[in-house]
Structure 1
Amino acid sequence: MTQENQVSATPAAGGARLSRTLGLWNLIIIGMVIIQPTAPMGIYGVISNKAHGHVVTTILLAMVAMLFTAISYGRMARVYPSAGSAYTYVGQEIHSAAGYIVGWGMVMDYLLNPLICTAFCAKAAMNILPGPSYYVWILVFAAFFTWTNLRGIQTSAQMNEALCAGMVLVVLLFLGVVARWLWHTHHDPGFYTRPFYEPQTFHPAGIFAGTSVAVLTYIGFDAVSTLSEEVRNPRRNILLATVLVCLITGVLSGVEVYAAQLVWGSAPFSSEHVESAFAIISRQVGGRVLFQIINFTLLIANMGSGMGSQLAAGRLLYGMGRGNALPASFFGAIDPKRHIPRNNIFAVGAFALVGAAVLEFFSGRLGGGAYEIGAEALNFGAFIAFMGVNAAAFMHYVGREKRRSPGFWLVPILGFVICGFIWIHLSKPALILGSVWMTVGIVYGAIRTKGFRSELVRFDLPPEEAQP
């Protein structure tokens, strides 16, 4: 690899730049770890109850739905290979103020994800080693996530590869145990088609309700686009990685829930067991050993997601800092030695630590409600970004380039409509929390621009790396 390929992104504070060292496979692995190969396990019970057992059907329908938005992300990354992701796409194609609003919504999403993962990992670790308190564990995990991301982008990529490999091995173990269980219990070929369609329990309304939850399996694929300035040949690799992450997640998740559904069928889960539904199924086919393995794997999965989301959050804040949407002297600075946005990594780690402590304080007083609201509030900012990217893709390819083939106008329209429908059907507390966050951002922008009379942001694009 040439020196020019290694370091050829937009100069930041002190002339330092992000380093182009990632390939297509690195992007796919980072995306998979942020989403988690075990993504459907945590929400399996909820989907099953809503869809009357047709979990695999809803997972595959959700994959098709999210592919529309993934294609829009990949196409816009070809036009604007920037760490700012949706913030840059919307700001360039629609309006700088719209880009700022989308970016502010993304900040909420990207800050809450490491926070939620830190809190989840602390709770899971307490089940394995109950000695240290919750507050000790959140300090351990927040520090570990931050240390890993401060080591540089290649260290983060290698760590993600190891975590992804471990999670995939556990998924394969689960599938193997289920296959052995089925070999001794079921021999009727018709039995194996019931997860896709069982006439007695198939209801369109239930399928639709389940699909709206199953979409959560794919949240996080957009983080790939925030690494546009650290990947070789971004115009090709970002598009491929974004779409492939969605496809691989859909296929792997579909296989996981198909196997689980063969074991459990369409029977509903009780309210006290809905969150641990997948682990309960694991215990049914593999005993307590597999039950504990699945629990431990969910801890590892959230560790990977926490590290990956902190990595992406640092790049988003860098893109906004460089564009002056946030104070450039802090958020737009690049460490000259490791070529990473060091200040942002520290800031996200500190936010996750303090936020996880505050979350525990309020969860104890609200019966766990604060944790659930925080987890769902992730989607408030995510779907604002998804709608914005679909709108930007339509404006660029249909409005500016005048492309009239259905692939260029139908894909972003469908992506926008689907994401908009999901967004307005978030829970009321999540909508209120998201609205407060957006109000704070708009007020901040108005103050900085004296009522939006002056330019708030600029969108400096990185130079292209030398092509082989």
Structure 2
Amino acid sequence: MSTIGLKRSLGLWGIIGLGLGYMTPTVLFDTFGIVSIETGGAVPTAYLVALVVMLFTAISYGRMSRVFPSAGSAYTYTRETIHPRLGFLVGWAALLDYLLLPLVNALIIRLYMTSLFPEVPGWIWVVLIVAVVTGLNIWSVSSTSRVNTVLVSFAVVMIVAFLALAVVELSQGVGTGTLFTTETFHHDGVHPAAVLTGATVVCFSFIGFDAITMYAEEARDRSVVPKAIVLTLLIGGAIFLVSAHVAQAVFPDVSRFEVTDDPLPEMAMLVGGKVFQLLFVSAAFAATVASGLASHASVSRLLHVMGRNRVIHPASLFAYVHPTRRTPVFAIAIVGAVSLLAITPSLELVASMINFGALVAFTFVNLSVIAHFVWRRREFRTPKQVATNIVLPLVSTLMTGVLWSFLHRDALVFGVIWASLGVLYAVVMGRVTGRRLTDVRLDDTSDADPDVDPEPVAAPAAL
């Protein structure tokens, strides 16, 4: 019997493109007004702080992806290094983040389209975008990657155009009147506490570099995944940091904006006029679609691995890989079904629920480094081992802890409810199946030959 596994078709830049698409490069302009008010006009500093925090965590993700080249990410790392039960709970918490991000992107597109075409019911746009994104993901991950790359490239080109137009504005005396200024990072009235609060807001602009680990089983060479994680973070961070500096130089405060919650259209209009505004809003739309494609692809891989480990049911449904498309079709379709919920909720409600899952994943990936290299492998006997295996992940954990302290109350409440549902699910399914879901070990050959696909999982008989 031939084996059927996820197809190894992604190269380094294909994976980086998916990570950048997930991060949505234009999101800086959507949140610029809020962060500028929060930091007192020091948006670049907030992004710099967030980039440093994320870089520490990215190093941990890269190290663990070498040890466990599975598509399960934080779920896999925790269950294999600390405990299967804790791994299940981390995976369950991460689902809150990963499952809702495709929904958020569909919701944002609904808001875009209903503002342009108010006479068309919003549910039509949701169904249309979810159908397109789900269909592309089912067809193949390489097709998803190619479309994502086109969309991200367009968004990046428009960001570069914005920066060029903004520099022209600066040369004419607008804003600070010069590109070469440190006032965008610090000036009178900027307080560290305010910058840190702003960093907690922009930190989630970086969510996406961690999702790269979900493509570990589809990379042509699994050794490129750690490199892709760091490069995605650095490229995305550079885009955010440069854009924030230039935008802050042109707009030292929010006095020129009529709408501060999402000033992207106004910023484009002020630097480039009506035609450029249309192009820039189109770029934001393209970036949102790209994020929808990438986030949909990543969460379906997490569901696939959890089904393959038989910790979510029906396991055969989630674990199934199409014999010719080589994609987890049922897991992808289920994510599409969840995304249809974007027909009714508000963006604020859904967004408040995402941060909990992201912080859980970040925290336990760092702790997994310590558990694996210090507790299991006893690599703490040299100064270098202490620095890399204890100090770096511990510092990253503490930095993430600071973000926990600023977590929105609604996010914490929804997160605790979701985690409680996970515990209830594990108990109930354990009794139904007669086995503890969380005690099943990996079956994806973490230490096996990377060129050998996992054992096939047959399609459910009813299907």
Question: Does TM, normalized by the shorter one, top 0.5?
Answer: yes
Q: Partners in 2 of 1:388 and 1:188 — Cα distance? A: 45
Larger deviation, residues 67-76 vs 454-463: 454-463
Q: Partners in 1 of 2:342 and 2:132 — Cα distance? A: 15
Q: Could you report, residue by residue, the CA deviation over 1:173-204 in whole angstroms, capped at 9, with x for unpaired residues?
A: 10111111112226966962211221x22211
Q: Partners in 2 of 1:433 and 1:455 — Cα distance? A: 23
Match of 1:283 among 266, 269, 275: 269
Q: Which residue of 1 aligns with 2:309?
A: 323
- Give 1:214 shift: 1.7
Q: Which residue of 2 aligns with 1:346?
A: 333
Larger deviation, residues 283-292 vs 156-165: 283-292
8 A Cα contact 1:45 1:274, kept in partner? yes
Q: Which residue of 1 aligns with 2:183?
A: 194
Q: Which residue of 2 aligns with 1:368?
A: none
Q: Partners in 2 of 1:191 and 1:88 — Cα distance? A: 46
Q: Which residue of 1 aligns with 2:98?
A: 110
The alignment partner of 2:45 has SS state of helix
Residue 396 of structure 2 is aligned to residue 415 of structure 1:
yes
Distance 1:282 1:173, change over 3 A: same
The alignment partner of 1:441 has SS state of helix
Match of 2:167 among 175, 179, 184: 179
Residues paired across the two proteins, number: 441
Q: Name the amino acid aligned to 2:389.
A: F
Q: Name the amino acid aligned to 1:400.
A: R
Q: Partners in 2 of 1:281 and 1:305 — Cα distance? A: 22
Larger deviation, residues 113-122 vs 420-429: 420-429
8 A Cα contact 2:309 2:443, kept in partner? yes
Residue 205 of structure 2 is aligned to residue 217 of structure 1:
yes
Residue 221 of structure 2 is aligned to residue 238 of structure 1:
no
Distance 1:77 1:427, change over 3 A: same
Q: Partners in 1 of 2:3 and 2:451 — Cα distance? A: 19
Q: Name the amino acid aligned to 1:86.
A: A
Q: Name the amino acid aligned to 2:204.
A: L
8 A Cα contact 1:48 1:268, kept in partner? no
The alignment yields a C-alpha RMSD, in angstroms, of 2.1
Q: Partners in 2 of 1:110 and 1:190 — Cα distance? A: 38
8 A Cα contact 1:89 1:392, kept in partner? yes
Q: Name the amino acid aligned to 1:316.
A: L
Residue 449 of structure 2 is aligned to residue 464 of structure 1:
yes
Structure 1 residue ranges without an equivalent (≥5): 1-10, 364-370
8 A Cα contact 1:80 1:461, kept in partner? no
Q: Partners in 2 of 1:310 and 1:188 — Cα distance? A: 43
Q: Name the amino acid aligned to 1:95.
A: H
- Give 1:326 shift: 0.8
Larger deviation, residues 143-152 vs 260-269: 260-269
8 A Cα contact 2:197 2:406, kept in partner? no
Q: Partners in 1 of 2:79 and 2:256 — Cα distance? A: 45
- Give 1:436 shift: 1.2
1:420-439 maps to which residues of 2 (within 5 A)?
Answer: 420-439=401-420
Distance 1:455 1:342, change over 3 A: closer
Q: Could you report, residue by residue, the CA deviation over 1:396-447 in whole angstroms, capped at 9, with x for unpaired residues?
A: 1222231433122122112212223323432222211111111111111112
- Give 1:156 shift: 0.7
8 A Cα contact 2:167 2:179, kept in partner? no
Q: Name the amino acid aligned to 1:385.
A: A
Q: Could you report, residue by residue, the CA deviation over 1:85-143 in whole angstroms, capped at 9, with x for unpaired residues?
A: 11110000000001000100111111100111101101112233444210111111110
- Give 1:394 shift: 1.1
Q: Partners in 1 of 2:387 and 2:356 — Cα distance? A: 29
Q: Which residue of 2 aligns with 1:8?
A: none
Match of 1:257 among 226, 244, 247: 244
The alignment partner of 2:357 has SS state of helix
Q: Partners in 2 of 1:238 and 1:438 — Cα distance? A: 29
Q: Which residue of 1 aligns with 2:372?
A: 396
1:4-403 maps to which residues of 2 (within 5 A)?
Answer: 15-185=3-173, 192-198=181-187, 200-234=188-222, 236-267=223-254, 273-327=259-313, 328-353=315-340, 355-359=341-345, 363=346, 371-401=347-377, 402-403=379-380
8 A Cα contact 2:79 2:85, kept in partner? yes
Distance 1:110 1:79, change over 3 A: same
Q: Partners in 2 of 1:113 and 1:190 — Cα distance? A: 35
Q: Partners in 2 of 1:352 and 1:62 — Cα distance? A: 28
- Give 1:61 shift: 1.3
Name the TM-score, length of structure 1 as normaliser. Answer: 0.89
- Give 1:60 shift: 1.1
Q: Name the amino acid aligned to 1:250.
A: G
Q: Could you report, residue by residue, the CA deviation over 1:34-68 in whole angstroms, capped at 9, with x for unpaired residues?
A: 00121312211121111101001110111011011
Q: Name the amino acid aligned to 2:372.
A: H
Q: Name the amino acid aligned to 2:355.
A: N
Structure 2 residue ranges without an equivalent (≥5): 453-463
Name the TM-score, length of structure 2 as normaliser. Answer: 0.90
Larger deviation, residues 115-124 vs 450-459: 450-459
Q: Partners in 1 of 2:210 and 2:84 — Cα distance? A: 20
Distance 1:100 1:269, change over 3 A: farther
Q: Partners in 2 of 1:189 and 1:285 — Cα distance? A: 15
Q: Name the amino acid aligned to 1:438.
A: A
Distance 1:50 1:155, change over 3 A: same
Q: Could you report, residue by residue, the CA deviation over 1:440-464 in whole angstroms, capped at 9, with x for unpaired residues?
A: 1111111223499845332123333
